[in-house]
Structure 1
Amino acid sequence: MNSDQNIDFRLNPDLDLPALARQFRAAGRIQIRDALDIGTAEFLRSVLQNRTNWGLAWQIGAEGPRAIRYAETQALSDAEKLALCQKAGEAVGKGEYGFVYEQYAMLTAYLEQWDPTHPLNRLLEHLNDQPFLGLVRQISGVQSVIKAEAQATCFAPGHFLTEHDDLHSRDPRRVAYVLNLTIPDWKSEWGGYLNFFDEHGNIEAGFRPMFNSLNMFLVPQRHSVSHVVPFAPVGRYAITGWAMDP
Protein backbone atom coordinates (compact mmCIF):
# COMPACT_ATOMS: atom_id res chain seq x y z
CA MET A 1 0.00 0.00 0.00
CA ASN A 2 1.13 3.54 -0.74
CA SER A 3 1.55 6.23 1.89
CA ASP A 4 -0.43 8.68 -0.25
CA GLN A 5 -4.19 8.82 -0.84
CA ASN A 6 -4.30 5.65 -2.99
CA ILE A 7 -5.87 3.01 -0.74
CA ASP A 8 -6.33 -0.52 -1.97
CA PHE A 9 -9.60 -0.82 -0.02
CA ARG A 10 -10.66 -4.45 0.23
CA LEU A 11 -13.18 -6.24 2.40
CA ASN A 12 -12.36 -9.69 3.73
CA PRO A 13 -13.41 -11.99 0.84
CA ASP A 14 -14.22 -14.82 3.27
CA LEU A 15 -17.11 -13.00 4.99
CA ASP A 16 -20.28 -15.12 5.08
CA LEU A 17 -22.70 -12.34 4.19
CA PRO A 18 -25.95 -14.38 4.39
CA ALA A 19 -25.04 -15.64 7.87
CA LEU A 20 -24.07 -12.13 9.00
CA ALA A 21 -27.37 -10.80 7.65
CA ARG A 22 -29.34 -13.36 9.68
CA GLN A 23 -27.41 -12.41 12.81
CA PHE A 24 -27.95 -8.68 12.24
CA ARG A 25 -31.66 -8.99 11.59
CA ALA A 26 -32.17 -11.03 14.74
CA ALA A 27 -30.65 -8.34 16.99
CA GLY A 28 -30.53 -5.12 14.97
CA ARG A 29 -26.78 -4.96 15.53
CA ILE A 30 -23.63 -6.95 14.85
CA GLN A 31 -19.88 -7.01 15.34
CA ILE A 32 -18.15 -8.40 12.25
CA ARG A 33 -14.68 -9.69 13.04
CA ASP A 34 -11.88 -9.51 10.46
CA ALA A 35 -14.06 -7.24 8.33
CA LEU A 36 -11.32 -5.94 6.04
CA ASP A 37 -8.46 -7.54 4.21
CA ILE A 38 -5.65 -7.48 6.77
CA GLY A 39 -3.43 -5.32 4.57
CA THR A 40 -6.18 -2.70 4.29
CA ALA A 41 -6.81 -2.75 8.04
CA GLU A 42 -3.15 -2.40 8.97
CA PHE A 43 -2.67 0.44 6.51
CA LEU A 44 -5.67 2.35 7.89
CA ARG A 45 -4.49 1.79 11.47
CA SER A 46 -1.13 3.29 10.55
CA VAL A 47 -2.86 6.28 8.93
CA LEU A 48 -4.84 7.01 12.09
CA GLN A 49 -1.92 6.53 14.44
CA ASN A 50 0.81 8.25 12.41
CA ARG A 51 -0.65 10.39 9.64
CA THR A 52 -3.71 12.13 11.12
CA ASN A 53 -3.67 15.59 12.70
CA TRP A 54 -6.31 15.29 15.37
CA GLY A 55 -8.70 18.02 16.40
CA LEU A 56 -10.92 17.81 19.46
CA ALA A 57 -14.70 17.48 19.81
CA TRP A 58 -16.70 17.91 22.99
CA GLN A 59 -20.06 18.71 24.46
CA ILE A 60 -20.65 19.86 28.02
CA GLY A 61 -24.32 19.49 28.85
CA ALA A 62 -26.61 22.10 27.32
CA GLU A 63 -23.69 24.16 25.94
CA GLY A 64 -23.98 22.28 22.65
CA PRO A 65 -21.29 20.49 20.61
CA ARG A 66 -17.92 22.09 19.85
CA ALA A 67 -15.11 21.04 17.57
CA ILE A 68 -11.70 22.53 16.91
CA ARG A 69 -9.02 21.61 14.41
CA TYR A 70 -5.47 20.42 14.95
CA ALA A 71 -3.78 23.83 15.29
CA GLU A 72 -6.24 24.97 17.94
CA THR A 73 -5.93 21.65 19.76
CA GLN A 74 -2.16 21.98 19.82
CA ALA A 75 -2.56 25.39 21.45
CA LEU A 76 -4.34 23.80 24.44
CA SER A 77 -2.20 22.74 27.38
CA ASP A 78 -2.57 19.31 28.95
CA ALA A 79 -4.17 21.01 31.94
CA GLU A 80 -6.76 22.69 29.70
CA LYS A 81 -7.59 19.39 27.99
CA LEU A 82 -7.95 17.70 31.37
CA ALA A 83 -10.22 20.51 32.56
CA LEU A 84 -12.47 19.93 29.53
CA CYS A 85 -12.80 16.24 30.41
CA GLN A 86 -13.53 17.07 34.03
CA LYS A 87 -16.12 19.70 33.16
CA ALA A 88 -17.87 17.34 30.74
CA GLY A 89 -17.77 14.62 33.39
CA GLU A 90 -19.36 16.94 35.94
CA ALA A 91 -22.21 17.67 33.52
CA VAL A 92 -22.71 13.94 32.96
CA GLY A 93 -22.78 13.46 36.72
CA LYS A 94 -25.78 15.81 36.80
CA GLY A 95 -27.58 13.70 34.20
CA GLU A 96 -26.67 15.78 31.15
CA TYR A 97 -25.38 14.56 27.80
CA GLY A 98 -21.68 14.95 27.08
CA PHE A 99 -18.65 13.69 25.22
CA VAL A 100 -14.96 14.36 24.67
CA TYR A 101 -12.83 12.72 21.97
CA GLU A 102 -10.26 13.50 19.30
CA GLN A 103 -11.69 13.90 15.82
CA TYR A 104 -10.77 14.31 12.17
CA ALA A 105 -13.89 15.48 10.31
CA MET A 106 -13.45 13.47 7.12
CA LEU A 107 -16.33 14.94 5.10
CA THR A 108 -15.44 18.54 5.93
CA ALA A 109 -11.76 17.83 5.31
CA TYR A 110 -12.64 16.31 1.92
CA LEU A 111 -14.90 19.17 0.81
CA GLU A 112 -12.56 21.91 2.05
CA GLN A 113 -9.41 20.07 0.92
CA TRP A 114 -7.56 20.41 4.20
CA ASP A 115 -4.92 17.98 2.94
CA PRO A 116 -5.54 16.87 -0.67
CA THR A 117 -3.17 13.87 -0.47
CA HIS A 118 -4.47 12.52 2.84
CA PRO A 119 -5.44 8.82 2.61
CA LEU A 120 -8.71 9.47 4.46
CA ASN A 121 -9.96 11.44 1.44
CA ARG A 122 -9.79 8.31 -0.67
CA LEU A 123 -11.25 6.21 2.15
CA LEU A 124 -14.32 8.45 2.23
CA GLU A 125 -14.81 7.78 -1.48
CA HIS A 126 -14.59 4.02 -0.87
CA LEU A 127 -17.15 4.23 1.95
CA ASN A 128 -19.54 5.86 -0.52
CA ASP A 129 -19.07 3.22 -3.20
CA GLN A 130 -19.24 -0.50 -3.70
CA PRO A 131 -18.43 -2.83 -2.05
CA PHE A 132 -18.93 -1.07 1.31
CA LEU A 133 -22.45 0.26 0.73
CA GLY A 134 -23.39 -3.07 -0.82
CA LEU A 135 -22.20 -4.85 2.33
CA VAL A 136 -24.26 -2.50 4.50
CA ARG A 137 -27.36 -3.08 2.39
CA GLN A 138 -26.96 -6.85 2.30
CA ILE A 139 -26.30 -7.30 6.00
CA SER A 140 -28.77 -4.72 7.34
CA GLY A 141 -31.52 -5.27 4.80
CA VAL A 142 -31.85 -1.48 4.43
CA GLN A 143 -31.76 -1.15 0.66
CA SER A 144 -32.44 2.60 0.58
CA VAL A 145 -29.04 3.77 1.81
CA ILE A 146 -27.00 5.48 -0.90
CA LYS A 147 -24.26 7.39 0.96
CA ALA A 148 -22.08 7.26 4.06
CA GLU A 149 -20.85 9.98 6.37
CA ALA A 150 -17.60 9.39 8.23
CA GLN A 151 -15.29 10.81 10.84
CA ALA A 152 -12.05 9.48 12.25
CA THR A 153 -12.06 9.30 16.04
CA CYS A 154 -9.57 8.65 18.79
CA PHE A 155 -10.88 8.15 22.32
CA ALA A 156 -7.75 8.90 24.31
CA PRO A 157 -7.48 8.17 28.05
CA GLY A 158 -10.19 10.13 29.85
CA HIS A 159 -12.51 10.39 26.81
CA PHE A 160 -16.10 9.12 26.60
CA LEU A 161 -19.45 9.48 24.83
CA THR A 162 -22.61 9.24 26.91
CA GLU A 163 -25.87 7.50 26.08
CA HIS A 164 -27.74 8.71 22.97
CA ASP A 165 -29.65 7.24 20.01
CA ASP A 166 -28.04 8.83 16.87
CA LEU A 167 -31.28 10.39 15.66
CA HIS A 168 -30.64 13.69 13.89
CA SER A 169 -33.09 16.33 12.76
CA ARG A 170 -31.42 16.85 9.36
CA ASP A 171 -29.64 13.65 8.36
CA PRO A 172 -31.62 10.53 7.30
CA ARG A 173 -29.42 8.15 9.30
CA ARG A 174 -30.42 4.50 8.93
CA VAL A 175 -27.43 2.32 9.87
CA ALA A 176 -24.57 3.38 12.14
CA TYR A 177 -21.14 1.82 11.82
CA VAL A 178 -17.83 1.75 13.70
CA LEU A 179 -14.72 0.39 11.98
CA ASN A 180 -12.32 -0.39 14.82
CA LEU A 181 -8.65 0.24 14.04
CA THR A 182 -6.96 0.39 17.42
CA ILE A 183 -4.18 -1.97 18.55
CA PRO A 184 -4.96 -5.71 18.22
CA ASP A 185 -4.52 -6.53 21.91
CA TRP A 186 -6.89 -3.91 23.38
CA LYS A 187 -7.66 -4.96 26.98
CA SER A 188 -11.17 -5.01 28.40
CA GLU A 189 -9.92 -3.09 31.46
CA TRP A 190 -9.13 -0.08 29.26
CA GLY A 191 -12.81 0.64 28.48
CA GLY A 192 -13.89 2.21 25.19
CA TYR A 193 -16.69 -0.32 24.70
CA LEU A 194 -19.65 0.36 22.45
CA ASN A 195 -22.50 -0.43 24.84
CA PHE A 196 -26.21 -0.84 24.09
CA PHE A 197 -28.95 -0.38 26.70
CA ASP A 198 -32.38 -1.85 27.29
CA GLU A 199 -35.38 0.13 28.55
CA HIS A 200 -34.22 -0.33 32.16
CA GLY A 201 -30.74 1.08 31.55
CA ASN A 202 -29.05 -2.31 31.69
CA ILE A 203 -26.26 -3.06 29.24
CA GLU A 204 -27.89 -5.35 26.70
CA ALA A 205 -24.75 -5.84 24.60
CA GLY A 206 -21.20 -4.53 24.65
CA PHE A 207 -18.68 -4.60 21.81
CA ARG A 208 -14.96 -4.47 22.58
CA PRO A 209 -12.99 -2.21 20.21
CA MET A 210 -11.43 -5.22 18.52
CA PHE A 211 -8.94 -4.43 15.76
CA ASN A 212 -10.39 -4.88 12.25
CA SER A 213 -13.94 -5.37 13.46
CA LEU A 214 -16.92 -3.58 11.96
CA ASN A 215 -19.82 -2.76 14.27
CA MET A 216 -23.15 -2.02 12.60
CA PHE A 217 -26.53 -1.20 14.15
CA LEU A 218 -29.88 0.19 13.17
CA VAL A 219 -30.72 3.78 14.11
CA PRO A 220 -32.17 4.59 16.59
CA GLN A 221 -30.70 2.54 19.44
CA ARG A 222 -29.59 3.77 22.85
CA HIS A 223 -25.82 3.37 23.09
CA SER A 224 -22.63 4.93 24.44
CA VAL A 225 -18.84 4.64 24.30
CA SER A 226 -17.60 3.84 27.77
CA HIS A 227 -14.90 5.90 29.47
CA VAL A 228 -11.35 5.07 28.34
CA VAL A 229 -9.52 4.75 31.61
CA PRO A 230 -6.59 7.06 32.47
CA PHE A 231 -4.10 4.18 32.58
CA ALA A 232 -4.87 2.98 29.03
CA PRO A 233 -1.54 3.18 27.17
CA VAL A 234 -3.09 4.06 23.78
CA GLY A 235 -6.25 5.55 22.34
CA ARG A 236 -9.24 3.81 20.79
CA TYR A 237 -8.94 4.51 17.05
CA ALA A 238 -11.91 4.09 14.71
CA ILE A 239 -13.74 5.32 11.64
CA THR A 240 -17.35 6.02 12.59
CA GLY A 241 -20.41 7.25 10.75
CA TRP A 242 -23.79 6.44 9.27
CA ALA A 243 -25.17 4.96 6.08
CA MET A 244 -27.99 7.25 5.04
CA ASP A 245 -30.99 7.59 2.78
CA PRO A 246 -31.08 10.23 0.03
Structure 2
Amino acid sequence: MTQPITLFELNPDLDRAALAAQFARDGRIQIRDFLTDTAARNILQILSRETPWGLAWRAGADGPHGLRRQQSAAYTPSDWQRLSTAVAAAMRSGDYAFVYSQYQILTAVQQGWNEHPGLEALIEHINDQPLMDLVRQVTAIPELRKADAQATLYGPNHFLAMHDDGHVGEGWRIAYVMNFCAEDWRPDWGGYLNFYDEDGDVVAGFKPRFNALNMFRVPQRHNVTYVPPFAPVARFAITGWFRDR
Protein backbone atom coordinates (compact mmCIF):
# COMPACT_ATOMS: atom_id res chain seq x y z
CA MET A 1 0.00 0.00 0.00
CA THR A 2 1.28 3.47 -0.90
CA GLN A 3 1.89 5.59 2.19
CA PRO A 4 0.27 9.04 2.21
CA ILE A 5 2.78 11.85 1.81
CA THR A 6 3.45 14.30 4.61
CA LEU A 7 1.98 17.48 3.21
CA PHE A 8 1.74 19.92 6.10
CA GLU A 9 3.54 19.25 9.37
CA LEU A 10 4.68 22.07 11.64
CA ASN A 11 8.23 22.14 12.95
CA PRO A 12 7.89 21.00 16.60
CA ASP A 13 10.98 23.00 17.66
CA LEU A 14 9.56 26.48 17.02
CA ASP A 15 10.02 28.83 20.00
CA ARG A 16 6.52 30.27 19.96
CA ALA A 17 7.07 32.64 22.88
CA ALA A 18 10.10 34.20 21.19
CA LEU A 19 8.23 34.47 17.88
CA ALA A 20 5.28 36.17 19.60
CA ALA A 21 7.60 38.67 21.28
CA GLN A 22 9.21 39.53 17.94
CA PHE A 23 5.84 39.96 16.24
CA ALA A 24 4.56 42.16 19.09
CA ARG A 25 7.62 44.39 18.68
CA ASP A 26 7.73 44.66 14.88
CA GLY A 27 4.26 43.83 13.55
CA ARG A 28 5.91 41.50 11.05
CA ILE A 29 7.96 38.32 11.13
CA GLN A 30 9.67 35.70 9.02
CA ILE A 31 9.51 32.25 10.62
CA ARG A 32 12.21 30.11 9.03
CA ASP A 33 11.78 26.34 8.81
CA PHE A 34 8.18 26.60 9.98
CA LEU A 35 7.38 23.16 8.53
CA THR A 36 9.33 19.96 8.72
CA ASP A 37 11.74 19.60 5.81
CA THR A 38 9.81 16.65 4.37
CA ALA A 39 6.50 18.55 4.36
CA ALA A 40 8.07 21.64 2.80
CA ARG A 41 9.70 19.63 0.00
CA ASN A 42 6.41 17.91 -0.78
CA ILE A 43 4.70 21.29 -1.09
CA LEU A 44 7.48 22.52 -3.38
CA GLN A 45 6.88 19.48 -5.58
CA ILE A 46 3.19 20.36 -5.89
CA LEU A 47 3.93 23.99 -6.70
CA SER A 48 6.75 23.32 -9.16
CA ARG A 49 5.36 20.27 -10.99
CA GLU A 50 1.61 20.00 -10.50
CA THR A 51 0.21 23.54 -10.45
CA PRO A 52 -1.46 24.85 -13.64
CA TRP A 53 -0.22 28.43 -13.49
CA GLY A 54 -2.33 31.27 -14.81
CA LEU A 55 -1.60 35.00 -14.64
CA ALA A 56 -2.56 37.87 -12.34
CA TRP A 57 -2.10 41.39 -13.60
CA ARG A 58 -3.32 44.93 -13.12
CA ALA A 59 -2.43 48.26 -14.70
CA GLY A 60 -4.08 51.10 -12.83
CA ALA A 61 -7.84 50.93 -13.40
CA ASP A 62 -7.41 48.05 -15.86
CA GLY A 63 -7.90 45.04 -13.62
CA PRO A 64 -7.32 43.18 -11.49
CA HIS A 65 -7.28 40.23 -13.89
CA GLY A 66 -6.97 36.65 -12.70
CA LEU A 67 -6.46 34.41 -15.70
CA ARG A 68 -6.58 30.65 -15.59
CA ARG A 69 -3.91 28.75 -17.51
CA GLN A 70 -6.12 28.20 -20.54
CA GLN A 71 -6.90 31.91 -20.74
CA SER A 72 -3.30 33.10 -20.46
CA ALA A 73 -2.18 30.44 -22.96
CA ALA A 74 -4.61 31.96 -25.47
CA TYR A 75 -2.95 35.39 -25.27
CA THR A 76 -1.49 36.46 -28.62
CA PRO A 77 1.77 38.42 -28.98
CA SER A 78 -0.29 41.57 -29.39
CA ASP A 79 -2.15 40.78 -26.15
CA TRP A 80 1.16 40.45 -24.29
CA GLN A 81 2.43 43.67 -25.82
CA ARG A 82 -0.73 45.51 -24.73
CA LEU A 83 -0.37 44.12 -21.20
CA SER A 84 3.30 45.11 -20.98
CA THR A 85 2.62 48.61 -22.31
CA ALA A 86 -0.30 49.16 -19.93
CA VAL A 87 1.65 47.98 -16.88
CA ALA A 88 4.65 50.13 -17.76
CA ALA A 89 2.46 53.19 -18.29
CA ALA A 90 0.73 52.67 -14.95
CA MET A 91 4.02 52.39 -13.07
CA ARG A 92 5.53 55.36 -14.91
CA SER A 93 2.60 57.54 -13.84
CA GLY A 94 2.77 56.41 -10.21
CA ASP A 95 -0.34 54.23 -10.42
CA TYR A 96 -0.76 50.74 -8.99
CA ALA A 97 0.17 47.63 -10.99
CA PHE A 98 1.32 44.04 -10.71
CA VAL A 99 2.18 41.00 -12.82
CA TYR A 100 2.84 37.49 -11.53
CA SER A 101 1.81 33.89 -12.13
CA GLN A 102 -0.93 32.54 -9.90
CA TYR A 103 -3.39 29.76 -9.19
CA GLN A 104 -6.44 30.79 -7.16
CA ILE A 105 -6.72 27.79 -4.84
CA LEU A 106 -9.71 28.92 -2.79
CA THR A 107 -11.66 30.17 -5.81
CA ALA A 108 -10.99 26.93 -7.70
CA VAL A 109 -12.23 24.83 -4.79
CA GLN A 110 -15.30 26.99 -4.14
CA GLN A 111 -16.30 27.12 -7.81
CA GLY A 112 -15.65 23.42 -8.42
CA TRP A 113 -12.97 23.65 -11.11
CA ASN A 114 -9.98 22.53 -9.08
CA GLU A 115 -8.61 19.23 -10.42
CA HIS A 116 -5.57 18.99 -8.17
CA PRO A 117 -6.18 17.25 -4.83
CA GLY A 118 -2.84 18.36 -3.44
CA LEU A 119 -3.78 22.03 -3.81
CA GLU A 120 -7.16 21.47 -2.17
CA ALA A 121 -5.46 19.63 0.69
CA LEU A 122 -3.12 22.58 1.20
CA ILE A 123 -5.91 25.05 1.86
CA GLU A 124 -7.54 22.57 4.23
CA HIS A 125 -4.28 22.30 6.18
CA ILE A 126 -3.85 26.08 6.26
CA ASN A 127 -7.29 26.38 7.87
CA ASP A 128 -6.78 23.44 10.23
CA GLN A 129 -6.17 23.78 13.94
CA PRO A 130 -2.36 23.28 14.11
CA LEU A 131 -1.46 26.21 11.85
CA MET A 132 -4.32 28.43 13.03
CA ASP A 133 -3.20 27.91 16.63
CA LEU A 134 0.37 28.86 15.73
CA VAL A 135 -0.79 32.01 13.96
CA ARG A 136 -3.07 33.02 16.84
CA GLN A 137 -0.24 32.51 19.33
CA VAL A 138 2.38 34.42 17.35
CA THR A 139 0.10 37.35 16.43
CA ALA A 140 -1.83 37.43 19.73
CA ILE A 141 -5.10 37.67 17.76
CA PRO A 142 -7.35 34.90 19.12
CA GLU A 143 -10.24 36.05 16.91
CA LEU A 144 -8.62 34.72 13.73
CA ARG A 145 -10.99 32.17 12.22
CA LYS A 146 -9.92 31.28 8.68
CA ALA A 147 -7.57 31.95 5.79
CA ASP A 148 -7.78 32.17 2.02
CA ALA A 149 -4.96 31.10 -0.27
CA GLN A 150 -3.53 31.41 -3.74
CA ALA A 151 -0.39 29.88 -5.16
CA THR A 152 1.99 32.47 -6.61
CA LEU A 153 5.07 32.26 -8.80
CA TYR A 154 7.28 35.29 -9.42
CA GLY A 155 9.53 34.86 -12.43
CA PRO A 156 11.39 37.28 -14.72
CA ASN A 157 9.64 40.68 -15.13
CA HIS A 158 7.16 40.01 -12.34
CA PHE A 159 6.50 42.39 -9.44
CA LEU A 160 3.84 43.71 -7.06
CA ALA A 161 3.76 47.48 -6.59
CA MET A 162 3.60 49.12 -3.19
CA HIS A 163 0.25 48.98 -1.39
CA ASP A 164 -0.99 48.46 2.16
CA ASP A 165 -3.69 45.73 2.07
CA GLY A 166 -6.07 48.19 3.66
CA HIS A 167 -9.22 46.09 3.12
CA VAL A 168 -10.01 45.96 6.82
CA GLY A 169 -13.73 45.73 6.01
CA GLU A 170 -13.09 42.23 4.61
CA GLY A 171 -11.82 40.96 7.94
CA TRP A 172 -8.21 40.91 6.81
CA ARG A 173 -5.97 41.06 9.89
CA ILE A 174 -2.74 39.25 8.98
CA ALA A 175 -1.20 38.88 5.53
CA TYR A 176 1.00 35.88 4.95
CA VAL A 177 3.50 34.55 2.40
CA MET A 178 4.72 30.97 2.64
CA ASN A 179 7.90 30.83 0.56
CA PHE A 180 9.09 27.59 -1.05
CA CYS A 181 11.94 28.78 -3.26
CA ALA A 182 13.48 26.05 -5.33
CA GLU A 183 16.96 27.58 -5.04
CA ASP A 184 19.10 29.57 -2.64
CA TRP A 185 17.71 32.94 -3.67
CA ARG A 186 20.23 35.69 -4.38
CA PRO A 187 19.47 39.33 -3.48
CA ASP A 188 20.20 40.34 -7.10
CA TRP A 189 17.21 38.29 -8.24
CA GLY A 190 14.66 40.63 -6.61
CA GLY A 191 11.37 39.20 -5.38
CA TYR A 192 11.91 40.53 -1.85
CA LEU A 193 8.97 41.35 0.40
CA ASN A 194 9.90 44.89 1.48
CA PHE A 195 8.25 47.23 3.98
CA TYR A 196 8.33 51.04 3.80
CA ASP A 197 7.85 54.06 6.05
CA GLU A 198 5.97 57.21 5.06
CA ASP A 199 9.11 58.65 3.44
CA GLY A 200 9.52 55.64 1.17
CA ASP A 201 12.53 54.23 3.00
CA VAL A 202 12.82 50.46 3.38
CA VAL A 203 12.39 49.60 7.07
CA ALA A 204 12.52 45.82 6.67
CA GLY A 205 12.89 43.25 3.93
CA PHE A 206 12.37 39.49 3.81
CA LYS A 207 14.43 37.39 1.44
CA PRO A 208 12.55 34.62 -0.40
CA ARG A 209 13.60 31.43 1.39
CA PHE A 210 12.70 27.80 1.22
CA ASN A 211 10.26 26.85 4.00
CA ALA A 212 9.71 30.34 5.44
CA LEU A 213 6.43 31.81 6.71
CA ASN A 214 6.18 35.62 6.49
CA MET A 215 3.34 37.31 8.38
CA PHE A 216 2.51 40.96 8.98
CA ARG A 217 -0.32 43.08 10.32
CA VAL A 218 -2.40 44.98 7.79
CA PRO A 219 -2.59 47.73 6.76
CA GLN A 220 1.16 48.10 6.21
CA ARG A 221 3.03 49.55 3.21
CA HIS A 222 4.84 46.82 1.31
CA ASN A 223 5.68 45.45 -2.14
CA VAL A 224 7.34 42.53 -3.92
CA THR A 225 10.35 43.87 -5.74
CA TYR A 226 10.89 43.48 -9.48
CA VAL A 227 12.35 40.16 -10.61
CA PRO A 228 14.91 40.84 -13.39
CA PRO A 229 15.10 38.84 -16.63
CA PHE A 230 18.18 36.86 -15.51
CA ALA A 231 16.49 35.48 -12.37
CA PRO A 232 15.42 31.82 -12.32
CA VAL A 233 11.76 30.85 -12.25
CA ALA A 234 11.87 29.58 -8.70
CA ARG A 235 10.07 31.94 -6.29
CA PHE A 236 7.15 29.69 -5.40
CA ALA A 237 4.80 30.71 -2.61
CA ILE A 238 1.35 30.40 -1.10
CA THR A 239 -0.13 33.75 -0.12
CA GLY A 240 -3.27 35.12 1.47
CA TRP A 241 -4.76 36.62 4.60
CA PHE A 242 -5.80 35.33 7.98
CA ARG A 243 -9.24 36.74 8.80
CA ASP A 244 -11.42 37.33 11.81
CA ARG A 245 -14.61 36.82 9.78
TM bracket, shorter-chain basis: over 0.9
Instruction: Look up the match of 2:155.
Output: 156
Instruction: Look up the match of 1:127.
Output: 126
Instruction: Look up the match of 2:14.
Output: 15
Q: Give the TM-score taking structure 2 as reference length.
A: 0.94
The CA deviation at 1:107 is 0.6
Moved more, 33-42 or 110-119: 110-119
1:176·1:216 contact (CA, 8 Å) conserved in 2? yes
Instruction: Summarize the alignment of residues 192-203 of structure 1 with structure 2, pairs less than 5 Å apart.
Output: 192-203=191-202
Structure 2 residue 218 is matched with structure 1 residue 219: yes
The CA deviation at 1:194 is 0.2
User: Could you report, residue by residue, the CA deviation over 1:6-28 in whole angstroms, capped at 9, with x for unpaired residues?
Assistant: 65310111110000000111000
2:7·2:43 contact (CA, 8 Å) conserved in 1? no
1:195·1:205 contact (CA, 8 Å) conserved in 2? yes
Unpaired runs of at least 5, structure 2: none
Instruction: Summarize the alignment of residues 77-96 of structure 1 with structure 2, pairs less than 5 Å apart.
Output: 77=76, 80-81=79-80, 83-96=82-95
2:9·2:35 contact (CA, 8 Å) conserved in 1? yes
The CA deviation at 1:89 is 2.4
Number of equivalenced pairs: 244
Read off the aligned partner of 1:184 and give its amino acid letter: E
Structure 1: distance between partners of 2:85 and 2:129:
42
Shift in alpha-carbon separation, 1:117–1:232, aligned structure 2, 3 A: closer
Shift in alpha-carbon separation, 1:151–1:221, aligned structure 2, 3 A: same
Structure 2: distance between partners of 1:108 and 1:40:
24
Tell me the SS of whatever aligns to 1:114: coil
Structure 2: distance between partners of 1:71 and 1:62:
24
Structure 2: distance between partners of 1:94 and 1:229:
21
Shift in alpha-carbon separation, 1:193–1:222, aligned structure 2, 3 A: same
Q: Give the TM-score taking structure 1 as reference length.
A: 0.94
Shift in alpha-carbon separation, 1:20–1:169, aligned structure 2, 3 A: closer
The CA deviation at 1:235 is 3.5
Structure 1: distance between partners of 2:3 and 2:84:
33
User: Could you report, residue by residue, the CA deviation over 1:115-154 in whole angstroms, capped at 9, with x for unpaired residues?
Assistant: 3442010110111111111111000111111000110001
Structure 2: distance between partners of 1:189 and 1:229:
8
- Aligned-residue sequence identity (percent) comes to 49
1:7·1:123 contact (CA, 8 Å) conserved in 2? no
Structure 1: distance between partners of 2:54 and 2:115:
17
The CA deviation at 1:80 is 4.0
Structure 1: distance between partners of 2:170 and 2:129:
21
Tell me the SS of whatever aligns to 1:239: strand
Structure 2: distance between partners of 1:145 and 1:214:
17
Read off the aligned partner of 1:11 and give its amino acid letter: L
Tell me the SS of whatever aligns to 2:208: coil
Instruction: Look up the match of 1:182.
Output: 181
Structure 2 residue 137 is matched with structure 1 residue 138: yes
1:3·1:119 contact (CA, 8 Å) conserved in 2? no
Instruction: Look up the match of 1:40.
Output: 39
Instruction: Look up the match of 2:48.
Output: 49
Structure 1: distance between partners of 2:55 and 2:102:
5
User: Could you report, residue by residue, the CA deviation over 1:133-179 in whole angstroms, capped at 9, with x for unpaired residues?
Assistant: 11110001111110001100011110100011112265210011100
